[in-house]
Amino acid sequence: MNNESQNTEYKLTWRDEYLKWVCGFANAQGGTIYIGIDDKGNIKGVDNIHRLSEDIPNKIATRLGIIADVNILAKDNLQYLEIKVQPSNIPISLNGAYHYRSGSTKQELKGIALQQFLLKKLGRSWDDIPHETATLNRISRTAIDYFLNHAIRASRMPSSALSDSTETILDNLNLITDDGKLRNAALLLFAENPQRYFPGSEFKIGRFGVSESDLMFQDVVEGNIIQMTEKVIELLRSKYLISHIQYEGLQRIEKLEIPEDALRELINNAICHKDYMGVAIQMKVYNDRVELWNDGLLPDGMEPSDLLKPHKSKPRNKLISAVFYRAGYIETWGRGIEKVCAAFDSYGLKPPQFEFTCGGLNTIIYRNEKFKEEQEALLNVSVNSNNTENIQNLPENAEQSSPKDSPKSSSKSSSKSSSKILELLVNNPSMTTQQIAESLGISKRTVLKNLKKMKDKIMHVGPYNGGYWKINDNSQTQNVSVNSNNTENIQNLPENAEQSSSKSSSKSSPKSSPKSSSKSLPKSSPKSSSKSSSKILELLVNNPSMTTQQIAESLGITKRAVLKNLGKMKDKVIHVGPYNGGYWKIIEP
């Protein structure tokens, strides 16, 4: 006889406790139990075999409610029993307990495992379960509109849906029951604070050194999952991954070292297929790779290596996956990983590797070795273990060549860049090194090298996100706090919104001189205002997702001036969607 396997069990004699094994096979993929064979597969025979062949089927039917085939077999003049159990499409219990055959062992299902098993047998998913206490006022309309804008652009929802009520939209997405209870999926997708109900729905990102024990800094992304991918990508772009600059004609393009669309696909998959009764998604960024882990098993019969082959889409969370599909985030044909591999190949990167570890799927994304120096400098300059910017430890060879920053750059051009950087930071002390680079059309590395040379004139105060630059001018210190108001509203902007340079300067920096004040914020004129409007329009045509802060930094004017110009341009441009994630729509004449 063959050895025991997932679907085969050998028993020397019959005991009624073996009904648990019958129950386990029925709840899994079915199987066969042989009575009269030892663990090594040697046939020993059975006494009273005819009586057992009658008693066992009756006990299985009475106590389990299923029918099993019991056959008498013989070999070498020895008789033994074969009990063939078919898989059941409904849950089977024995004395109130549910048993399950997994591999070559039998398990009694309890807790979360039992809940998942029962849902699966009933053809339902966890995200389909109604929440007993959450009410409609927990749903964020901003998140609903964010989803609708993406779904309309993907041509998977009609534009008329924007005028529908929140309840109507949830009902159309099957996220609310007939008696008005919100399903788990509705809270995860659109609640203002899903972590209130599901603590494991957050997304953790960490930067590690050579090993997992060497954690250098980390972030936790919270909030609804429909906007989570965008937040994660922004964090990766600003703190964890390298962006390189290239030009297509006159248009400046910054590309992540990892293809962004493919990275989004992998993050969306992790969010969609996660077991939300488990722990948070974890992304670990190392020098040579990025590891993305989400809790939860793969569908039955599927191995991690199968993801790289053509396969059917079998979502764990059916409602969440349906909403992500409508938003244009994922496909429904199981082709997402195929597209990811093609994108990685176009970047000269190895395809991602998938493995099952610690009860979940781990995706390994290999980074490009040519960015090794940039990665080390980003760690030294951008964020240290206290999450602060540090320009003191910038390596001497940190500068990277770019279309506007060649190895032949002279000390004169470097001095000019330093002056421009200083001027930008006088006007906007909260600028990041990435924003400075974008405003001046130079690489981030060049900015960092200039900042190191300017350490006697300028220093960074506070954390990487939310800190500010402190300017030392003739032993006079200008401290300009970060503006915490990030609300954009060009419709309600008052006519006198733009402040004069002297008023703005005196309010933000009492110790600054009239000379520096007039230089930092020049007085606008109708002619310059018209010129600014044209430049703003040109920027938004090329990049509709720009914020007013980014526009101001790109043009070297105040955010108030941008808002005032946008207020005058209401017949030419409108903002669609929420502040974070919306876009500018140009009105054709």
What percentage of the chain carries pLDDT values higher than 70?
Answer: 76
Given this model, what pLDDT does residue 438 score?
80
Confidence check: pLDDT of 436 > 60:
yes
Query: SS3 of 292, please?
Result: strand
174 class by beta-carbon count within 10 Å (0-12 exposed, 13-18 middle, 19+ buried): middle
Given this model, what pLDDT does residue 167 score?
96
Q: Strand 105-109 and strand 203-208: pairing?
A: unpaired
Of 215, 214, 224, which Cα lies nearest the Cα of 140? 224
Handedness of CA 34, 38, 41, 42 (dihedral sign): negative
Binned at pLDDT 50, 70 and 90, residue 446 comes out as confident
- CA-CA distance, 297 to 401, in Å (whole number)? 45
Binned at pLDDT 50, 70 and 90, residue 388 comes out as very low
Alpha helices in 72-140 (DSSP H): 111-121
Handedness of CA 462, 463, 465, 469 (dihedral sign): positive
- Domains assigned to the chain: 8-109 (3.30.950.30), 126-196 (no CATH), 199-370 (3.30.565.60), 371-478 (1.10.10.10), 523-586 (1.10.10.10)
Name which residue leads in pLDDT, 26 or 418. 26
Query: SS3 of 216, please?
Result: strand
- CA-CA distance, 495 to 236, in Å (whole number)? 39
Tokens linked to 197: 């109900």
Given this model, what pLDDT does residue 514 score?
36
Binned at pLDDT 50, 70 and 90, residue 232 comes out as very high
289 class by beta-carbon count within 10 Å (0-12 exposed, 13-18 middle, 19+ buried): middle
The tens digit of pLDDT for each residue in 117-140 reads 888 888 888 999 999 999 999 999
Q: Which of 174-183, 369-378, 530-539 has the lowest mean pLDDT?
A: 369-378
Given this model, what pLDDT does residue 26 score?
95
Q: Which of 48-52, 179-183, 477-481, 552-556 has the lowest mean pLDDT?
A: 477-481
Binned at pLDDT 50, 70 and 90, residue 559 comes out as confident
DSSP one-letter code for 499: P
Tokens linked to 270: 């992790």
Tokens linked to 543: 């990049």
**Residue 505, amino acid:** S
Name which residue leads in pLDDT, 390 or 283. 283
Confidence check: pLDDT of 404 > 50:
no
Q: What is the DSSP string of 3-15?
A: PPBTTEEEESS--
The answer for 305, left when phi > 0, alpha when psi is -120 to 50, beta otherwise, is alpha
Long-range contacts, 351-359 (Cβ 8 Å, 24+): 351/308, 352/266, 354/304, 354/305, 354/307, 354/308, 355/304, 356/297, 356/298, 356/303, 356/304, 357/293, 358/293, 359/278, 359/295, 359/296, 359/297
Tokens linked to 259: 């293809």
The tens digit of pLDDT for each residue in 74-118 reads 998 899 999 999 999 999 999 999 999 987 788 999 887 888 888
- CA-CA distance, 507 to 487, in Å (whole number)? 21
Tokens linked to 34: 């042989």
What percentage of the chain carries pLDDT values higher than 90?
Answer: 44
Binned at pLDDT 50, 70 and 90, residue 359 comes out as confident
Q: Are 380 and 449 in contact (CB under 8 A)?
A: no
The tens digit of pLDDT for each residue in 253-296 reads 778 899 999 999 999 999 999 999 889 999 999 999 999 999 98
> What is the total residue count of the chain?
589
Q: Which of 272-276, 523-527, 559-563 has the lowest mean pLDDT?
A: 523-527
Given this model, what pLDDT does residue 570 score?
79
Helix, strand, coil tally for the chain in percent (to 5):
40, 20, 40
Q: What is the mean pLDDT of the chain?
A: 80
Of 78, 65, 60, which Cα lies nearest the Cα of 20? 60
Rg (CA), the chain: 31
Strand partners, 460: 469
Given this model, what pLDDT does residue 315 score?
83
Strand partners, 252: 247
- CA-CA distance, 291 to 272, in Å (whole number)? 17
Name which residue leads in pLDDT, 379 or 504. 379
CA count, 13 A, side-chain hemisphere, 535: 17
Query: SS3 of 209, please?
Result: coil
Of 367, 363, 328, 361, which Cα lies nearest the Cα of 344? 367
Given this model, what pLDDT does residue 496 score?
37
Strands in 266-310 per DSSP E: 281-285, 289-295
User: What is the distance in angstroms between the CA of the first residue and the CA of the last residue of the chain?
Assistant: 82
Tokens linked to 313: 């889409």
Binned at pLDDT 50, 70 and 90, residue 521 comes out as very low
Given this model, what pLDDT does residue 333 score?
61
